[in-house]
């Protein structure tokens, strides 16, 4: 399934680097999400964009900076990360259909911070 794509699939970065994760959805949806999947922890919602407006920032540190230039693209800009930020970062999208809305996920970016 190629409805939601993410690049890169793997990323290794130092704590002083700046990098960006990209997500693109081809489903005509208008809400997009960033999740963090760490080992032994439930998936954590980080950010939500609805109609390109950020509607949720789930107490995420400022070293993570999202950007949603249009309804098809979502970025997560990373700078001065910590080793504990190593995780799988998942992007999802949905059609914003109210309570019966369903989110569809991309393959994720496996991030390692050295």
Partner 1 sequence: AQSVSQHNHHVILSEAASLELGCNYSYGGTVNLFWYVQYPGQHLQLLLKYFSGDPLVKGIKGFEAEFIKSKFSFNLRKPSVQWSDTAEYFCAVTLFSGGYNKLIFGAGTRLAVHP
Tell me how far apart the alpha carbons of residues 58 and 70 are, in angstroms, rounded to a whole number. 21
- In whole angstroms, the minimum distance from the beta carbon of 29 to partner 1 comes to 11
7 binds partner 1 (CB under 8 A): no
Q: Considering only residues 83-112, where is the footprint of partner 1 by CB under 8 A?
A: 90, 92, 94, 96, 98-108
Residue 46, H or E segment: strand 44-50
Closest to 107 measured CA to CA, from 92, 96, 95: 92
Establish if 38 lies at the interface with partner 1 (CB under 8 A).
no
Q: Cβ neighbours of residue 74 under 8 Å, at least 6 residues apart?
A: 22, 23, 24, 25, 32, 34, 49, 66, 67, 68, 91
Q: Which residue has the tokens 């970062």?
A: 89
- We find the least distance from the C-beta atom of residue 15 to partner 1, in angstroms, to be 28
CB atoms within 10 A of CB 31: 23
Least distance (Å) from partner 1 to the CB of residue 114?
23
Using CB under 8 A as the binding rule, whether residue 45 contacts partner 1 is answered as: yes
User: By C-beta, is 16 or 100 nearer to partner 1?
Assistant: 100
If one asks whether residue 1 binds partner 1 (CB under 8 A), the answer comes out as yes
- Measured from the CB atom, is 1 or 84 closer to partner 1? 1
Closer by beta carbon to partner 1, 14 or else 56: 56
């Amino acid at each position: 399934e190629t409805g939601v794509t993410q690049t890169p699939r793997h990323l290794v970065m130092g704590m002083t680097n700046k990098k960006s994760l990209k997500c693109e959805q081809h489903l005509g949806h208008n809400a997009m999400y960033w999740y963090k999947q760490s080992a032994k922890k439930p998936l954590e919602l980080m950010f939500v964009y609805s109609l390109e407006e950020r509607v949720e920032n789930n107490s995420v540190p400022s070293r993570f900076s999202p950007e949603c230039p249009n309804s098809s693209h979502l970025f997560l800009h990373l700078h001065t990360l910590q080793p504990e930020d190593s995780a799988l970062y998942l992007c999802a999208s949905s059609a914003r259909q109210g309570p019966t809305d369903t989110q569809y996920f991309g393959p994720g970016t496996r991030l390692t911070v050295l």
